[in-house]
Amino acid sequence: MSTSTSPLLPPAKLPGPNEPCWCGSGTKYKKCHRGEDSQARAPVPASRRVQPGVVSPRRPVPAHIPRPDYAETGRPGPGVLGDPTTRLTRMRRACRAAAEVLQVTGAAAQPGITTDALDALAHEEYIRRGGYPSTLGYHGFPKSLCTSVNEVILHGIPDSRALEDGDIVNLDITIYLDGMHGDCSATFPVGKIDAASEQLLRVTRECLMLGIEAVRPGLPINVIGRAIEAHAKRHGYGVVNAYCGHGIGEVFHRSPQVCHAFDPHATDIIEEGMFFTIEPMLTMGAIHHRDWDDGWTVVTADGRRSAQFEHTIFVTRDGAEILTQV
Ligand code: MF3
Ligand code: CO
Ligand code: CO
């Protein structure tokens, strides 16, 4: 019973069987929404899970584009320290370019397009800006962005699967430009998505912003995870703790490690001048994960959806500057 036109969603904490239903109908929970809720919280059957498609051959990058040290071998080295006086300027440029590529690629995430076609588009957009797709060849990753659909938590490989109306897809874009890596991602709705997925996307984006707002030099790095986890928990979502944000700059991944759930032992102090990412992954169900045998794709064990948003930030005197913005 509601006068609102937006569909009602069950709360994080559900009533007991004989308590009144959360929807306000006045009926006992067991006679009202209980069946529907337990259905929605059950593991997803195999037939409704994302299936791997075919991965296309590696796309070439023109010879004039400067590449990171791992491009040929797959193994990242120490990176190249460029002119230290222009570090922030170069980082701002790389991060802005990453945000632009994310925006262009995200706009193309419509029903019917394959994730491989999104890879082709992103690939061209990096090169157009004079940048190298940081993921291409990184520890052998075969593509120019990660595309993580529905229950894929992260590191999905673009392939021949076409996006379907109602999917959600995270696009994770990293560019190597002016000697620096800029890393960002967002989860996009494909066509019309259900209310529960819409809420997952909204809350995950809010978690990222709350994590960024918690950044302040002098504080332990776990203030970020504390803020993120508190907000996620309020909505009944899980926070994936097997993968973390990371320092970034001349190299793709470095210290500090930025966990998205509160870790009492993560007491490294945030320092002015640091560059790092914050990239919370939230799950509608349990946070437990499984790995596909492609060696990359990480999915929720229960097959329920997961979303992620990511920014690269710069620690200022009194907070954080978001670098991955257009
Ligand atoms: N962009 C991802 C991150 O946010 C890393 C992808 S590495 C890859 O850290 F090899 F999987 F592409
Ligand atoms: Co990323
Ligand atoms: Co990252």
Q: What is the DSSP string of 199-267?
A: HHHHHHHHHHHHHHHT--TTSBTHHHHHHHHHHHHHTT-EE--SS-EEE-SSSSSEEEEE-SS--TT--
Whether the predicted pLDDT of 300 surpasses 50: yes
Whether the predicted pLDDT of 19 surpasses 70: yes
Q: What is the pLDDT of residue 303?
A: 98
Give distance in angstroms: CA of 24 to centre of ligand 2.
41
Q: What is the pLDDT of residue 124?
A: 99
* Binding site membership of 138 for ligand 1 (Cβ less than 6 Å): yes
Query: Quick one: average pLDDT of 294-321?
Result: 98
Name the pTM for this structure. 0.96
Q: Which residues of 7-38 are buried (b: 16+ CB within 10 A; e: fewer)?
A: eebbeeebbeeeeebbbeeeeebeebbbeebe
* 5 — pLDDT class (breaks 50, 70, 90): low
* Binding site membership of 174 for ligand 1 (Cβ less than 6 Å): yes
* Binding site membership of 139 for ligand 1 (Cβ less than 6 Å): yes
Whether the predicted pLDDT of 134 surpasses 70: yes
Pocket of ligand 1, candidates 102, 174, 278: which has the most ligand atoms within 8 Å of its Cβ, to mutate? 174
Q: Which ligand 1 atom is the nearest neighbour of the CA of 246?
A: 9
Q: Which ligand 1 atom is the nearest neighbour of the CA of 141?
A: 10
Q: Between 180 and 39, whose confidence is greater? A: 180
Q: What is the pLDDT of residue 4?
A: 45
Residue-wise pLDDT tens digits, 72-117: 999 999 999 999 999 999 999 999 999 999 999 999 999 999 999 9
Domains of the chain plus CATH, in order, are: 82-322 (3.90.230.10)
Residue ranges in the chain assigned as alpha helix (H): 34-40, 87-107, 115-128, 195-213, 222-234
Q: What is the pLDDT of residue 296?
A: 98
Pocket of ligand 1, candidates 138, 173, 275, 309: which has the most ligand atoms within 8 Å of its Cβ, to mutate? 138
* 40 — pLDDT class (breaks 50, 70, 90): confident
Give distance in angstroms: CA of 245 to centre of ligand 1.
10
| DSSP SS3 for 105 | helix
* Binding site membership of 311 for ligand 1 (Cβ less than 6 Å): no
